[in-house]
Structure 1
């Protein structure tokens, strides 16, 4: 850490972690400069506004919602949004083989909707699972799921979907991703809870959440405005090209728009990219997403916030209707859809034009019971090359090597989802930013705590107070 409280700090990245870190510093009297490579702030938590023939449509970068167990963070967001912070109800489903299942999976819903053959397999698995051991350290995602859900549900709901989402075999994916993201984790526990007198139900995802009236990115637009009122300087469209350092201390951030002098740096640059920027090598990589956004000439497409598309031959993993979060996300009488398509830069699905991709999307919509003729023809794509940290087996050691390489810069703090290579929610990323700012002010080295913040082995979303 800096040898004393820094007077000038450069924050790289204007997403949730970077902006919150900058606010923490600026409101304590530190001179802060925020550098953002993109043209807009918010990062993957931003919102794109599209002016269509019927009016204004708004699309987030994915399925965001504000949930937190942190009262002070909730208070900050409520102060920023005021009456523009709505409370919404989440209703999500899994679509597979022409059937609709509740999300998260519930045994009662499976019994009601699943084919008889599937339920016979579930019953066999349940009978055999008493002999299976719990997850071992280092297990794969496939083993983790199968040991808790059984082979039938793994093969039916998880195997093909996971391969489509991550682009690798489930046997090659670490189980770490599952532990904080998959609810209802033990089929035996579910069966027990169906018995009389079983008591509390299984843990599940938060149904209520807070959401801005005009899109999730408004949180960070308001945060940036408050930051500038506090005296910080924001520069968008600036690419960082290097760090100038001596004696283990960074004294300037070099960019394509000149150098910015500093006493410390808080970075949300993707972890492997920062390693390479500083002369190292990293095998860590991310999974990209293409968000295909389209206007629909109908007031409501469905009652669902989002639909998980588990059929492996459908190109998207999730279908979302932004209007389900806020009615202001589409013009009156209209709606919109966003499809999340996992792919990587250079893939056919990444480079294909919207016009060329639409026939495949239309075919999938028909299978889902949605008339593609309702599409107005107004469509566009947004691409995120670093959407999800790809937690392949062995990633933990590679991640630690990255932090060891960067530790030679005493006044560099990595934080945020991409910066720490963690699949965290927005509130956790913002908390990382707060921790980074407070660590610099205190002159303490809290980097290890920041890197592993909210790494508990539970479904974090169940703890929401929002």
Structure 2
């Protein structure tokens, strides 16, 4: 891979965290950059959307974002970018299941008070009589989520807390989901580790997730709106409402980007954050990779407080959403004074009935679920709106690693294309990792080093990054 020269144009596809950070590094090096974005705003899955209601402006993110990182340089960059707009926030979460509410992370007193005897007895039986004679599954390449969880936490906890929620989230049985999802997202080692952490002691093991985090005053997307403003000030073109519809190739290289509006954008180098299977389709690579979509149902509420929880995990399979979030818990500026809001995070597949139906058609189901959860739907102002994320979660079916690697290898044969970011590398990663990936992609062009293999597996260690956050 040759160094990109100032006379060359680099097309960055996607104005999310990875794309904008790549553009930032490229413009600092004096390169000509054009950013091409399908949406009408920057931020990608980290964007913040506004609902203009009678009471004022209500703001909703695409999901439960928080800025956490173990990279002090990146934290300093974001702090300088945001100034006094960056707040300190505390996370408080609970699990809702079968009419009961459990603290998250688990606490012994709370469990003894709230859990049914059958659950406690079953977990104790697994701990004493099953798990000591079970070898934990370690083969992340071939094992399923079900195998990984049951071999560590036992049948009782798997059936109660993991099975139904996981199938609702992913839309496939846990027996078809890769163990990668468990290995990368669950920092507890096994049921013995759960029991050990529940016991109160002075030198208790640190919590398994970051309670404290940084969050912008007016929504997570403000980080990337600020970054985009700075890029424009430096002369970088950011083209919004320009979905990429294809690429023009000559002699094996990408020579131009085509948009749905019929525009052709000539380029010398390409850094793409487009979903991996989408780019594969553009260049004629057959693949079996797919994504799980999300629909967010956003509702202003005529009360200043729904609960004291940042979000609630909704484990019951017959409740439509997987999480109930109250944006005001992250920042009081996410809703007008005296008001709050709820955001229900609903997994679906693109173009299924949940994705397609109107807000009015979905509303009765939402109201029924809120009532079950103890949220009075009559507090709603009567205003509501959905936002949708078509490529929310890479679908990690068993064996997906081999298919991903095959597609990656084929795309890496295009010498002037670098894939990066969450969707571009088909990885479930945190925002800070996506930003670092964008920087790494840009620096590989600037330095003329082929670091694509490093980018695809960047921070792919089997630990939960939240436990090491410096934010």
- TM-score, reference length from structure 2: 0.96
Greater alpha carbon shift after TM alignment, 338-347 vs 214-223:
338-347
Runs of at least 5 residues in structure 1 that lack an aligned partner in the other structure: none
Matched with 1:315 is 320
Matched with 1:129 is 131
Q: Which of residues 203, 212, 215 in structure 1 aligns to 2:216? A: 212
2:360 is aligned with 1:360: no
Matched with 2:285 is 280
2:59 is aligned with 1:55: no
Q: Equivalents in 2 of 1:331, 1:203: separation in Å?
A: 33
Once the two structures are TM-superposed, the CA of residue 102 in structure 1 deviates from its matched residue by 1.4
Q: Secondary structure at the match of 1:377?
A: coil
Q: Equivalents in 1 of 2:196, 2:360: separation in Å?
A: 51
Once the two structures are TM-superposed, the CA of residue 142 in structure 1 deviates from its matched residue by 0.8
2:184 is aligned with 1:183: no
Q: Secondary structure at the match of 1:312?
A: coil
Matched with 2:103 is 102
- TM-score, reference length from structure 1: 0.97
Q: Equivalents in 1 of 2:218, 2:97: separation in Å?
A: 32
- Relative to structure 1, the CA distance from residue 326 to residue 252 in structure 2 (aligned partners, 3 Å threshold; closer, same or farther) is same
Matched with 1:411 is 416
Q: Which of residues 244, 254, 260 in structure 2 aligns to 1:240? A: 244
Once the two structures are TM-superposed, the CA of residue 4 in structure 1 deviates from its matched residue by 4.9
Q: Equivalents in 2 of 1:142, 1:103: separation in Å?
A: 21
Q: Equivalents in 2 of 1:199, 1:329: separation in Å?
A: 37
Matched with 1:28 is 29
Q: Secondary structure at the match of 2:185?
A: coil
Greater alpha carbon shift after TM alignment, 193-202 vs 10-19:
193-202
Once the two structures are TM-superposed, the CA of residue 241 in structure 1 deviates from its matched residue by 2.3
Once the two structures are TM-superposed, the CA of residue 279 in structure 1 deviates from its matched residue by 1.1
2:380 is aligned with 1:378: no
- Relative to structure 1, the CA distance from residue 379 to residue 247 in structure 2 (aligned partners, 3 Å threshold; closer, same or farther) is same
Matched with 1:37 is 38
- Relative to structure 1, the CA distance from residue 377 to residue 31 in structure 2 (aligned partners, 3 Å threshold; closer, same or farther) is same
Report if aligned partners of 1:288, 1:387 keep a CA contact under 8 Å in 2: yes
Greater alpha carbon shift after TM alignment, 393-402 vs 189-198:
189-198
Greater alpha carbon shift after TM alignment, 365-374 vs 98-107:
98-107
Once the two structures are TM-superposed, the CA of residue 193 in structure 1 deviates from its matched residue by 4.7
Matched with 2:333 is 328
- Deviation by residue 1:378-422 (Cα, 9 ceiling, x = unmatched): 000011111000100010011011112211211100001101000
Q: Which of residues 246, 253, 259 in structure 1 aligns to 2:264? A: 259
Report if aligned partners of 1:5, 1:440 keep a CA contact under 8 Å in 2: no
Runs of 4+ aligned structure 1 residues displaced above 6 Å come to 195-198
Once the two structures are TM-superposed, the CA of residue 257 in structure 1 deviates from its matched residue by 4.1
Once the two structures are TM-superposed, the CA of residue 90 in structure 1 deviates from its matched residue by 0.1
Greater alpha carbon shift after TM alignment, 248-257 vs 59-68:
248-257
Q: Secondary structure at the match of 1:150?
A: helix
Q: Equivalents in 2 of 1:330, 1:3: separation in Å?
A: 47
- Relative to structure 1, the CA distance from residue 54 to residue 197 in structure 2 (aligned partners, 3 Å threshold; closer, same or farther) is closer
Q: Equivalents in 1 of 2:236, 2:455: separation in Å?
A: 23
- Relative to structure 1, the CA distance from residue 271 to residue 197 in structure 2 (aligned partners, 3 Å threshold; closer, same or farther) is same
Report if aligned partners of 2:108, 2:199 keep a CA contact under 8 Å in 1: no
- Relative to structure 1, the CA distance from residue 211 to residue 202 in structure 2 (aligned partners, 3 Å threshold; closer, same or farther) is closer
Matched with 1:396 is 401
Matched with 1:157 is 161
- Deviation by residue 1:127-159 (Cα, 9 ceiling, x = unmatched): 121111122312110111112221101100110
Q: Secondary structure at the match of 1:429?
A: helix
- Relative to structure 1, the CA distance from residue 149 to residue 105 in structure 2 (aligned partners, 3 Å threshold; closer, same or farther) is farther
Matched with 1:222 is 226
Q: Equivalents in 2 of 1:217, 1:418: separation in Å?
A: 18
- Relative to structure 1, the CA distance from residue 78 to residue 11 in structure 2 (aligned partners, 3 Å threshold; closer, same or farther) is same
Q: Equivalents in 1 of 2:431, 2:469: separation in Å?
A: 12
Once the two structures are TM-superposed, the CA of residue 108 in structure 1 deviates from its matched residue by 4.7
Q: Equivalents in 2 of 1:199, 1:300: separation in Å?
A: 35
2:178 is aligned with 1:174: yes
Once the two structures are TM-superposed, the CA of residue 227 in structure 1 deviates from its matched residue by 0.9
Q: Equivalents in 1 of 2:407, 2:222: separation in Å?
A: 33
Matched with 2:118 is 117
Runs of at least 5 residues in structure 2 that lack an aligned partner in the other structure: none
Once the two structures are TM-superposed, the CA of residue 21 in structure 1 deviates from its matched residue by 0.4
Q: Secondary structure at the match of 2:297?
A: strand
Once the two structures are TM-superposed, the CA of residue 460 in structure 1 deviates from its matched residue by 1.2
1:74-93 to structure 2, matched below 5 A, reads 74-93=75-94
Q: Equivalents in 2 of 1:192, 1:304: separation in Å?
A: 26
Report if aligned partners of 1:5, 1:443 keep a CA contact under 8 Å in 2: no
Report if aligned partners of 1:2, 1:410 keep a CA contact under 8 Å in 2: no
- Deviation by residue 1:184-213 (Cα, 9 ceiling, x = unmatched): 231112334566879441651000000000
Matched with 1:426 is 431
Q: Equivalents in 1 of 2:302, 2:199: separation in Å?
A: 47
Matched with 1:463 is 468
Greater alpha carbon shift after TM alignment, 309-318 vs 352-361:
352-361
Taking only aligned residues, the RMSD between alpha carbons, in angstroms, comes to 1.5
